[in-house]
Structure formats: structure tokens, C-alpha cells
Amino acid sequence: MSNNTRRPAYRNRLSVASLTVATLLCITLASAFIAFVVSRNRLAALADEQRRIEHQIALFHQEIHALEKRIDTSLNRDKVHERLTAGGTFLKPIEPASIISLSRIDTSEAVATTPSLNPTVAQTLVNDKTTR
């Protein structure tokens, strides 16, 4: 038997250009997918960090609130008196008879006699003493 029947020759139905386009398309899609995954992972990491920081802030707010409450209770008028006496200070309670009340200074007359544009009370008193 002779081998007169030839097998059909292999013919490449895809050209080099179409194979190159398909390869570039696959590479582009893979790059886009990798970029998407990296972006999502970065956002997830940032969200985790933000949650940790918000949790720390909440803990700091609780600590500040506790310290403010502690300060308010320790600076209570009765406790301050006890702490000062326990500390051996020379402070004494203020008695109403020891309070000195001063009369108000009439600044309208003093302002009219001063040459400066905007004098203070101290300047008006100094100017009054120097003109006398």
C-alpha cells in the first residue's frame, strides 16, 4: 500500500498580529485586575487604620472625661479646704468684715483732660497727679 494520501498540512488560522493582540489584551486585563486588587487592599488597610485611630480617640475621650470628673470632684470647695489645711498652708478663710470695697473712678472727666487719643485709667490717674 502506498502512501499516496497525504494528510492535510497544518495551517495556522491565526496570524501573528491576531496572536499579539490577544496576548496584549490578556496582559492588559491581568494588569487592570491586579491594580484593582491592590487598590482594594490599600483601601481595606486604610479603613482598618482609621478604625484603630477612631477607637484610640474614643478611649482618649473616655480618659479625658474621667480626668475631668476626677478634677471636678477633687476641686470641690469642701475638699479644697481639707487639702489646703492638710498641706499646712497659711491660707485663712475670707471674712466679710475684711473685704474692702472701693468706689468707682469717674473716667469721663479724666478722659477729657488727657491729651492722648485712647488713655487707660492708669494713664488718666498719672496725668491727674502730674497736673496737680
Indicate if 90 and 106 belong to the same structural domain: no
**10 is a domain residue:** no
pLDDT at position 65: 95
Indicate if 54 and 76 belong to the same structural domain: yes
Indicate if 25 and 71 belong to the same structural domain: yes
The residue range of the domain holding 126 is 102-132
Indicate if 86 and 22 belong to the same structural domain: yes
Indicate if 54 and 80 belong to the same structural domain: yes
32-43 average pLDDT score? 97
Give 56 or 113, the one with higher predicted confidence.
Answer: 56
Domain count, the chain: 2
Give 113 or 4, the one with higher predicted confidence.
Answer: 4
The reply to whether the predicted model has a pTM over 0.75 is: no
Write the CB contacts of 131 (distance below 8 Å, at least 6 apart in sequence).
113
Write the CB contacts of 123 (distance below 8 Å, at least 6 apart in sequence).
114, 116
In this predicted model, what pLDDT tens digit does every residue of 41-88 receive, in sequence order? Answer: 999 999 999 999 999 999 999 999 999 998 888 777 777 777 777 777
Indicate if the pLDDT at residue 40 is higher than 90: yes
To which residue does cell 488727657 refer? 114
Indicate if 38 and 64 belong to the same structural domain: yes
